[in-house]
C-alpha cells in the first residue's frame, strides 16, 4: 500500500506546488490589475478592466476537464508531452489562474479605502501604493486566498488524475474504479483529505499569526 | 498661501450633476489655522479634498504657494502633494505596520536611507510624545495615540500645509483638546499653515484664527473667530454658537424664582478681563448675584457668558443695563 501511496502523494505535491506557483504568477497580477483599473481604482482603465473581467469569467466557466483537453496543445508546446504529472501542471495553472485573480481581487478590495487615500495624499505613485500599501495591508487575507487556491488545486489535481495526470486522484480511480481495490481508493481519498486539512490549518494559522489588526 | 477662486465641484450621477461645492472662494494666510465648519453634508470634505486634488474640481482655481494646482499634471501633482500633508477622521494608519513603520512609510517613498529614516522617525515620535509606543500596532493604540502617529506621519516630509478632515471628530473631548494643542504647537513651532475641517464649534473656538461657515456647498460667512462669536451672521453660525452657549446650568435657572432681574451678559475680548461687575455694583448701588457663568479662551481673545441677578430699584437696574450695553456687553433679559 505504502509503495503505491507514496509516489502518488509525491506526484500530487509536485503538481500542486508548481501549479500553485504558476497560477499565482499568472493570477496575482491579474487580480491587482482588476482592483486598480476598476471604476474608482487608483489606475482607472475601464476598457482594460472590462476585457480582463470577461476573460476571467469565460475561463472560469469552462469545466476543468474540457479546459484541460483544450490545453493539450499548449502542454505539448511547453513540456513536450500531454500526459503525465509535469504536463498536467500547464492546464492546472491556467485553470487556477482566473480563480486566483478573483481571490486576489477580493482580498485587495477589502483594504480600507482610507489608507489608499493616504497614499495618494502623500504623492505615492501607483506601484508604490500597490507594493507599499495595498499588498502589505491585505497580507493576512492574501494568505487565506493562497490557502484557498492550494486547496482548490488539490481538488483539480485529483480530477486531472483521471486523464493521465498521475497523483493520488489517478491512483484512486485506477485502483478503486477500474480494479475494484476499494482499500487503495479509500486510503488515497483519505490522504487527499488529510492534505487539504493540513494546508487549510497551516494557512489559517499563518494568516492569524501575521494579522495585526 | 492658499487661494481658492470660484471653486465648484459636481458629482456626476448618471446625467445629473450634484453640486457638492458651489462657487467657493477664500484664501488662507501663511501660518494661519483656518477652520471650515458646517453641518454634515455641507461639502466640507469635498472642499478640502479638492485642495490636494484627491477630488478633481469641476470649475475654479486653487493656487497654493503661487502654483496653480488645477494646472498640474499627474507627476507634478504628486511632488506638490508632498508639501501638503493630510490627516483624517479615522486616522488611516496601516493596520499591519507599527507606529514606527507607519511614520517611516512616507520617508521610504521619498527614498531616504535607512539611517536617515531612523533618525527622523525617532525625532517625530519624540515630538508627538509617543516614544514608548514605537513598536505598537494601531490596534494597540488609543484613538488619540493613533491620531498622534498620523500627525507624525503627516509631518515626516516637512510639509508646508496640513489639511485636517475632522481629525478630532472620533475622539473624546479631553483627547480632542490634547490633539488640538499638538496642532497648535505644530503651527507655532514649525510654521505650518493648517486648514481644519470640523463640525465641532469647540475646535474652531480653541485653535482657529479665521473660520469659514459652509452651508449646502457654499461658504456663507468668513470671519475671524472673535468676530464670529461676537456677531454671527449666518443661521448656521448662530446655531453653532448657541449650541456652545447653552450651558447645562442655564437650563435650571427659572427667572421667576428670583426677586431681581435675571440677565445674561455676553462679553468678548478686553471686556472679559475688566472688573465690570464690581463697577456696576459701585456705580449704581445695586446687588449683583452671580448665578452661572463661563469664560472661554478663544484663539486671541476671551469670550464670556455670565448669568446674574440684578437686585435693586427698577430705574437703577435699568441704568445698570444701559451702562453695560454702552460698554459693548450684550445684555439679554431672561
Ligand atoms: N463620491 C461622491 N459621489 C457623489 N456624491 C458625493 C460624493 N462625495 C460626496 N458627495 C455628496 O456631496 C455632498 C457633500 O459631501 P461631503 O462629504 O463633502 O460633506 P461633509 O460636509 O464632509 O459632511 P460630513 O460632515 O458628514 O463629513 C453630500 O451631499 C454628498 O452626498
Ligand atoms: Mg466629511
pLDDT in tens, chain B (334 residues): 999 999 999 999 888 999 999 999 999 999 999 999 999 899 999 999 999 999 999 999 999 999 999 999 999 999 999 999 999 999 999 999 999 999 999 999 999 999 999 999 999 999 999 999 999 999 999 999 999 999 999 999 999 999 999 999 999 989 999 999 999 999 999 999 999 999 999 899 999 999 999 999 999 999 999 889 888 888 889 888 877 765 444 556 777 778 888 888 887 777 767 788 888 888 888 988 888 777 666 555 667 778 888 988 888 899 999 988 888 888 888 7
Assigned C-alpha cell, A112: 480600507
Q: Contact at 8 Å (CB) between A116 and A42?
A: yes
Q: Which residues of B touch A137 (CB under 8 A)?
A: 94-96
H/E element holding B291? strand B287-297
Starting at the edge strand that comes first in sequence, how are the strands of the sheet with B330-333 ordered?
B287-297, B302-311, B261-268, B330-333
pLDDT on residue A180: 82
Per-residue pLDDT tens digits for A127-174:
999 999 999 999 999 999 999 999 999 998 988 877 778 888 888 888
Q: Which residues of B touch A210 (CB under 8 A)?
A: 96
pLDDT at A83 over 90: no
Query: What ipTM is given for this predicted complex?
Result: 0.91
Of B39, B53, B46, whose CA–CA distance to B198 is shortest?
A: B39
Q: Contact at 8 Å (CB) between B39 and B238?
A: no
| Chain A nearest-CA residue for B48 | A121
* Cα–Cα distance, A28 to A34 (Å, whole number): 10
Gyration radius of chain A over CA positions: 19
pLDDT on residue B169: 92
For an interface test with A, the pick among B49, B77, B96, B139 (most A C-beta atoms closer than 10 Å) comes out as B96
H/E element holding A121? helix A113-121
From the CA of B41, the nearest ligand is 1
Q: Using the mean position of ligand 1's atoms as its centre, give its distance from the Cα of residue B40 in Å.
A: 8
DSSP string of A59-108, one letter each residue? HHHS-HHHHHHHTHHHHHHHHS-SSSHHHHHHHHHHHHHHHHHHHHHHHH
A139:B96 CB<8 A: yes
pLDDT on residue A67: 85
| Chain B nearest-CA residue for A212 | B96
* Cα–Cα distance, B154 to B148 (Å, whole number): 10
pTM: 0.85
Q: Which stretches within chain A are classed as H helix?
A: 2-37, 46-61, 64-70, 72-79, 85-109, 113-121, 126-128, 135-160, 167-171, 182-210
Q: Count CA atoms closer than 13 A to B209's CA, side-chain side.
A: 15
Beta-carbon neighbour count of residue B217 at 10 Å? 22
Q: Using the mean position of ligand 1's atoms as its centre, give its distance from the Cα of residue B39 in Å.
A: 11
- Give mean pLDDT, residues A7-23: 95
Q: Which residues of A touch B76 (CB under 8 A)?
A: none
Residue B298 to chain A, least CA–CA distance (Å)? 31
B92:A112 CB<8 A: yes
A212:B96 CB<8 A: yes
B137:A212 CB<8 A: yes
* Cα–Cα distance, B307 to B289 (Å, whole number): 9
Report the DSSP beta bridge partners of residue B210.
B34, B224
| Chain B nearest-CA residue for A132 | B105
Contact of A137 with chain B, judged by CB distance below 8 Å, is answered with yes
Nearest to B78 among A123, A133, A136 (CB): A123
* Cα–Cα distance, A129 to A118 (Å, whole number): 9
pLDDT on residue B302: 66
Question: pLDDT grade, residue A114 (50/70/90)?
Answer: very high
Per-residue pLDDT tens digits for A19-73:
999 999 999 999 999 999 999 999 999 999 999 999 999 999 988 888 888 888 9
Amino acid at each position: 500500500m505504502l509503495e503505491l501511496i507514496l509516489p502518488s502523494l509525491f506526484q500530487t505535491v509536485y503538481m500542486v506546488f508548481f501549479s500553485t506557483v504558476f497560477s499565482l504568477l499568472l493570477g496575482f497580477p491579474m487580480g491587482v490589475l482588476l482592483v486598480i483599473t476598476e471604476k474608482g481604482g487608483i489606475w482607472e482603465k475601464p476598457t482594460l478592466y472590462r476585457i480582463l473581467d470577461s476573460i476571467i469569467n469565460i475561463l472560469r466557466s469552462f469545466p476543468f476537464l474540457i479546459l484541460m483537453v483544450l490545453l493539450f496543445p499548449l502542454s505539448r508546446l511547453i513540456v513536450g508531452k500531454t500526459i503525465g504529472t509535469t504536463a498536467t501542471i500547464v492546464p492546472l495553472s491556467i485553470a487556477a489562474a482566473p480563480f486566483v485573480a478573483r481571490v486576489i481581487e477580493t482580498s485587495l478590495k477589502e483594504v480600507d479605502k482610507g489608507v489608499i487615500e493616504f497614499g495618494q495624499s502623500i504623492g505615492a505613485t501607483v506601484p508604490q501604493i500597490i507594493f507599499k500599501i495595498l499588498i502589505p495591508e491585505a497580507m493576512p487575507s492574501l494568505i487565506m486566498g493562497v490557502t484557498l487556491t492550494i486547496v482548490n488545486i488539490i481538488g483539480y489535481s485529483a480530477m486531472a488524475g483521471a486523464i493521465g495526470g498521475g497523483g493520488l486522484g489517478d491512483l484512486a480511480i485506477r485502483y478503486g474504479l477500474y480494479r475494484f481495490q476499494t482499500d487503495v481508493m479509500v486510503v488515497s481519498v483519505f490522504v487527499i483529505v488529510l492534505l487539504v486539512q493540513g494546508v487549510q490549518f497551516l494557512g489559517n494559522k499563518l494568516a492569524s499569526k501575521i494579522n495585526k489588526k | 498661501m492658499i487661494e481658492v477662486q470660484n471653486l465648484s465641484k459636481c458629482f456626476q450621477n448618471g446625467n445629473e450633476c450634484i453640486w457638492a461645492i458651489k462657487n467657493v472662494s477664500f484664501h488662507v494666510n501663511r501660518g494661519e489655522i483656518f477652520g471650515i465648519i458646517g453641518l454634515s453634508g455641507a461639502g466640507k470634505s469635498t472642499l478640502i479634498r479638492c485642495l490636494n486634488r484627491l477630488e478633481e474640481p469641476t470649475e475654479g482655481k486653487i493656487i497654493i504657494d503661487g502654483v496653480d494646482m488645477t494646472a498640474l499634471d499627474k507627476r507634478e501633482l504628486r511632488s506638490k502633494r508632498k508639501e501638503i500633508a493630510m490627516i483624517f477622521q479615522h486616522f488611516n494608519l496601516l493596520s499591519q505596520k507599527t507606529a514606527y513603520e507607519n511614520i517611516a512609510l512616507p520617508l521610504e517613498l521619498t527614498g531616504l536611507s535607512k539611517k536617515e529614516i531612523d533618525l527622523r522617525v525617532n525625532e517625530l515620535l519624540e515630538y508627538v510624545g509617543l516614544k514608548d509606543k514605537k513598536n505598537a500596532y494601531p490596534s494597540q493604540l488609543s484613538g488619540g495615540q493613533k491620531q498622534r502617529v498620523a500627525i507624525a506621519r503627516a509631518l515626516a516630509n516637512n510639509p508646508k500645509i496640513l489639511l485636517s478632515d475632522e481629525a478630532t471628530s472620533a475622539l473624546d473631548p479631553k483627547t480632542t483638546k490634547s490633539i488640538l494643542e499638538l496642532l497648535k504647537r505644530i503651527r507655532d513651532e514649525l510654521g505650518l499653515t493648517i486648514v481644519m475641517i470640523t463640525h465641532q464649534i469647540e475646535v474652531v473656538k480653541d485653535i482657529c484664527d479665521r473660520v469659514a461657515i459652509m452651508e449646502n456647498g457654499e461658504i456663507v460667512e468668513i470671519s475671524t473667530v472673535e468676530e464670529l462669536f461676537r456677531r454671527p451672521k449666518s443661521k448656521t453660525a448662530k446655531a453653532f454658537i448657541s449650541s456652545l452657549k447653552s450651558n447645562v446650568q442655564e437650563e435650571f435657572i427659572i427667572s421667576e424664582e428670583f426677586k431681581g432681574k435675571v440677565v445674561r451678559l455676553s462679553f468678548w475680548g478686553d471686556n472679559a478681563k475688566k472688573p465690570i461687575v464690581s463697577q456696576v455694583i459701585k456705580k449704581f448701588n445695586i446687588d449683583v448675584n452671580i448665578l452661572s457663568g463661563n469664560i472661554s479662551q478663544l484663539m486671541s481673545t476671551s469670550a464670556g457668558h455670565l448669568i446674574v441677578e440684578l437686585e435693586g430699584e427698577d430705574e437703577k437696574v435699568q441704568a445698570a443695563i444701559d451702562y453695560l450695553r454702552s460698554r459693548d456687553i450684550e445684555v439679554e433679559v431672561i
